[in-house]
Structures are given as structure tokens and as C-alpha cells.
Amino acid sequence: MNDKDRDRSGDGAGPVAQKEIDNDTAGEVRPKRFAAFVFAFLLAAPFLSAARSAAGDVGRLRGLSLTVDAGIINAASAHANFYNGQPGNVNTLERILYSETYGNNIWNNLTNQNLIGSSVANYRQITVAEYGDMHYRIAFQLGLGFRYDFLGSDWGWLARFDYAKLHAQGAVLLNSGHGAAYLTNQNAYVNCFTSGVEERIYFDLGLLKKFRLNNGLEVELALGGNVNNTKVESSDIEIGGIIYSILDVWGGLSPSSYTGSYSYVNQGGIGYGVFVSVSVGFTLPIGTAMSVGYMLHYNKVNLQRYESFAFHHAVGINVALNNFRLFD
């Protein structure tokens, strides 16, 4: 079945699409290809820099430069359980599962597919066996910023913005209610896939130090502070082939008792932390530097109940453009 556009008419909840659940990891293929490209750059960089060094063709960044970076980020799973629907979360499965508005639809669908047994007589008797832990898929990260390299020194400072759209995924298990003689490993539970989507922006400000090697390669270390902003876009669960939004558009009330109209949901917010990065690259005589590096963030992300500090990892390629007359 084809995915349908999210329906936010009415109160904005309930079935938002019908689709076959695909466990294929195609969404992660492109980030893995990018990681392979980064690895290839690391292998080629020593040969490129050695050839330039032998020819005396060594450049240096001076003053202000525009920086562009692209990479992949592995966000901390510690924050992903914001989307698993467990009690106490902002967005809960129980809010739709035990509401008359959507509960009967869920129960009828599961019963018609024989996913739950006759012992589950109505939607109020559907029980959750386990709220599984979620994790973020590896995602692309794109950035833009500035750096300033002090003249006659290998010190400088940097300021950059990075953007990533993160996808969390996991599963919740419902008890099927089938009798013991009927149970197999396949139908003891109803497997319900959970997902969440958020936009995250990082702003880094820090100092950098460059170390020049004899073969023309440059190793650069950076350290500084970070401010981040997270915006939740969706929080969904698949139950019996139908995807429901559990994003709270009811002001914390049950959908059955809520009488207001759909309002803008503002979940997420400002967090902070520190970062450290290390990169390897070279500078062309035209005033363009290219490097590949690893960045570690230790951040607090503003997702309610999951604001704890955690490590986030990223690798990518950075290009610094210094060949502008304005920056000389």
C-alpha cells in the first residue's frame, strides 16, 4: 500500500497512513556510502599532501574564511525514548489506545487480523507487554560557518551551524491474549513499530590549533561550547498495519474528552554542552583548505524527561574558503 499524506484535519490524530512495514535499512545506505567516501579521503590525503609538499606547493589560511561541512551524525540513543510512548512521556500510547475515539478502531483492526485473541474483549483490555528502547538512525549533517586564522600563528577561532534531521525508531509489544495452546513465538505479542522525527541545529563556538606535519598534512584540534535547538516534528506508532500519531494535540487530555481545536505543538527547545574535534587535511595555495574529521559533542538536549547529557558522534568533510579579496 502507498503511504498517504499526514492528515491533520479535525484534532490531528488517529490513523495518518496505511503501509506495509518494511524492515529494510535502505535509509541508512547513503550515510554508509558517505562514510566510505570519508575513509577513501583519509587514505588519499597523505599521498596528495606529500606530492604538494615535494613541489613546495603549500598554502596557508589567513584571516577570515567561510567554512562548509557535510557529514554523518550518530545521535545519542539516550534521548530517543522520548518517542516510545511510555507512561510519563509527553506523547503516550495509552492516550489513544484507551480512548473511545481511537481504541475501538484499534481493537477492531487487531481482532479482524486475529492478532489478538477472544480473551481481549474490548480496547480497554489491550495491554502493553514492553515499551522497547529506541535509537536514532545515522543521519546526514550539513553545516555552514566561519573561522579566523591569526596571521603568523597556528591558532584561530571558529563559529559554525550544523543541521540534521533525525529519525528515531523502535518497537512496542502488545500482549496478544491468545491461549497458551495457540501461542507461538510469532503471535505471543503484537509487534508495533514506533518512530519519531525531529530537526536539530547545533551552534559551535570554539578555539582551534593547527599542527603542521613534514609531509604537508595538517592536524587540527578544536574545543569549545555548544548551543543546540531541537524541534519535534512527529511521533508515531504502527498498530496492525495502521500508523497513528501519538503527538499530543489534546493538551494532555484524552482525545475523547478534549473539546478544543488542533493547535500548534511546540515540543523540544534549547540545550547546551561542549564539543571537541580532530581533523586531518591540507591547504591549497589558492587559499582553500580541505579536511576530514571526527567531532564529539557532550550535550544536554531539551526533550522533556530525557534532558540528560549524552555523547553524540559525527564524522565529515570540511572545506574552508579563504581566497576572497574581502577576507585578505
User: Does the pLDDT value for residue 61 go beyond 90?
Assistant: no
Note the pLDDT tens digit of each residue in 9-34: 333 344 443 333 344 444 555 665 65
CB 206 within 8 A of CB 222: yes
- Indicate the number of domains in the chain: 1
Q: Is there a domain that residue 90 lies in?
A: yes
- Among residues 191, 199, 139, which one has the least CA distance to residue 170? 191
Structural domain includes residue 158: yes
Stretch 66-93: mean pLDDT, rounded? 95
- Look at residue 30 in the predicted model and tell me its pLDDT: 60
DSSP for 85-128? Answer: --TTSSS-SHHHHTSHHHHHHHHHHHHHTTSS-TT--SGGG--E
What pLDDT digit, counting tens, does each position of 170-189 carry?
Answer: 999 999 887 654 555 557 88
Q: What is the CATH number of the domain that holds 292?
A: 2.40.160.20
Secondary structure string (H, E, C) spanning 194-216: EEEEEEEEEEEEEEEEEEECCCC
- Is the entire prediction scored with pTM above 0.85? no
Range of the domain at 170: 14-327
Residue 165 grid cell = 534531521
Place 40 in a pLDDT band, splitting at 50, 70 and 90: low
In-domain check, residue 1? no
> Is the pLDDT at 214 greater than 60, yes or no?
yes
Residue 227 scores a pLDDT above 80: yes
